[in-house]
Amino acid sequence: SVAKKSDPGYTFYDPKFDHYSPRRLMLLGELRRAINNNDLCLYYQPKISFETGYIIGCEALVRWHHPKIGRIFPDEFVPLAERSGLIKPLSMWVLKEAPRQWEEWHKQGIDLSISVNLSVRDLFDSQIPEKIAKILDQHHMPPEMLILEITESAMMEDPQQARSILARLNDMGIKLAIDDFGTGYSSLAYLKNLPVDEIKIDKSFVMELDTDEDDATIVKSTIDLGHTLGLSVTAEGVEKSEGWDILMQLGCDYAQGYFMGRPLPVAEINQWFEESNWGMRAHAEGLKDIG
Ligand code: C2E
Ligand code: MG
Ligand code: MG
Ligand code: MG
């Protein structure tokens, strides 16, 4: 009502401008214990190959199961971790858990790459390549099965530092992907000199691909650009079959999105492997047909 609008206490709630809300302060206070207590959990979202129509890998996406609040999404607590110095332990937790899960799947005959998201701060930990090498070793995980996803803006924050860490990871055989591609402001000249293997087109350009001509143009140019630079291209946010069809026509390499599969906890993704047309069993049968 008009009366309410003129009330100085009446404001729209936008968490971006509310760094110290009671909820944030509480979460901040509890995050360290959550990391140590294993209250974090990885969900896995399938990544599908356009060439075969089957799963080729999974992206690990962290969730926090809070005893009182329930499930909390990374968009809320990863920024808190980044600002409070807890991002290093958070990233290390993820970097240990994902290879452990890789090994468990590998023992079951399920061979998938696993993508893990890193933060800009992780690129300033000069020991991170050695830490990762040790974990891969522990789980007998080939380095090329691990894909590290880093956003454009993170890479641009300190290009020289980023380049040196990325070069060491690349030398180890680990794959590198630029996440949320198109939302940052990286220069092509700079991209060309980074040892990356993959770009992931941000979902904001993909979700409405079938109805928004500008999005379609951006996605097409990005795929062509990626291929010109020798990179593989993944589209995020494929929500409809129309999106899948257009991306296939445009020559995109891989897709993630709700149309194929949502991020799921391990028990549920295992079931998805069995039951989905894009999943594991289909893959095994497909390979039998071929050879
Ligand atoms: P991201 O790496 O770009 O991950 C993709 C996000 O898009 C995920 O959100 C996923 O659930 C969502 N998504 C996937 N398919 C679709 C779709 O078809 N439609 C729509 N609307 N959304 C889709 P999520 O899991 O909430 O993660 C959000 C962001 O949090 C991630 O974006 C990533 O930047 C960050 N994040 C997640 N896990 C970690 C982590 O372990 N460490 C760090 N540093 N960041 C993480
Ligand atoms: Mg990602
Ligand atoms: Mg993304
Ligand atoms: Mg993101």
**In contact, 217 and 250? CB cutoff 8 Å:** no
Which two structure tokens, joined as six digits, stand for 270?
A: 């295992």
**Mean pLDDT for each consecutive 10-residue tract of the chain (291 residues)?**
42 56 89 94 98 96 95 95 93 98 96 96 93 98 98 84 93 96 76 89 97 97 94 98 98 98 97 91 57 42
Q: Which residue has the tokens 């680990």?
A: 174
Q: How many residues does the chain have?
A: 291
Among candidate residues 225, 30, 43, 205, the one with its CA nearest the CA of residue 117:
43
Cβ-based neighbours of 89, under 8 Å, separated by 6 or more = 32, 35, 36
Cβ-based neighbours of 291, under 8 Å, separated by 6 or more = none
As residues whose CB is below 5 A from the ion ligand 4, the structure lists 180
Give the pLDDT confidence score for residue 2 in this predicted structure: 40
Cβ of residue 62 lying under 6 Å from some atom of ligand 1: yes
Give the pLDDT confidence score for residue 139 in this predicted structure: 98
Give the pLDDT confidence score for residue 192 in this predicted structure: 79
Give the pLDDT confidence score for residue 11 in this predicted structure: 47
Give the pLDDT confidence score for residue 40 in this predicted structure: 97
Neighbours of 116 (CB within 10 A): 23
Q: Distance between CA 273 and CA 259 in Å, rounded?
A: 15
Q: Distance between CA 251 and CA 227 in Å, rounded?
A: 9
Among candidate residues 82, 72, 80, the one with its CA nearest the CA of residue 40:
72
Q: From the alpha carbon of 73, which atom of ligand 1 is closest?
A: 26
pTM score, whole prediction: 0.92
For the chain, the first-to-last Cα distance in angstroms comes to 70
Give the pLDDT confidence score for residue 1 in this predicted structure: 35
Q: From the alpha carbon of 74, which atom of ligand 1 is closest?
A: 30
Cβ of residue 208 lying under 6 Å from some atom of ligand 1: no
Q: From the alpha carbon of 236, which atom of ligand 1 is closest?
A: 15
How far out from the chain centre does Cα 47 lie? 10
Q: Distance between CA 146 and CA 139 in Å, rounded?
A: 12
Identify the residue whose C-alpha is closest to ligand 1 atom 12: 237
Can you give the three-state secondary structure of 74-136, one letter per residue?
HHHHHHHHHHHCCHHHHHHHHHHHHHHHHHHHHHCCCCCEEEEECCHHHHHCCCHHHHHHHHH
179 CA → ligand 4 middle, Å: 7
DSSP for 135-191? HHHHTT--GGGEEEEEEHHHHHHSHHHHHHHHHHHHHTT-EEEEEEETSS---HHHH
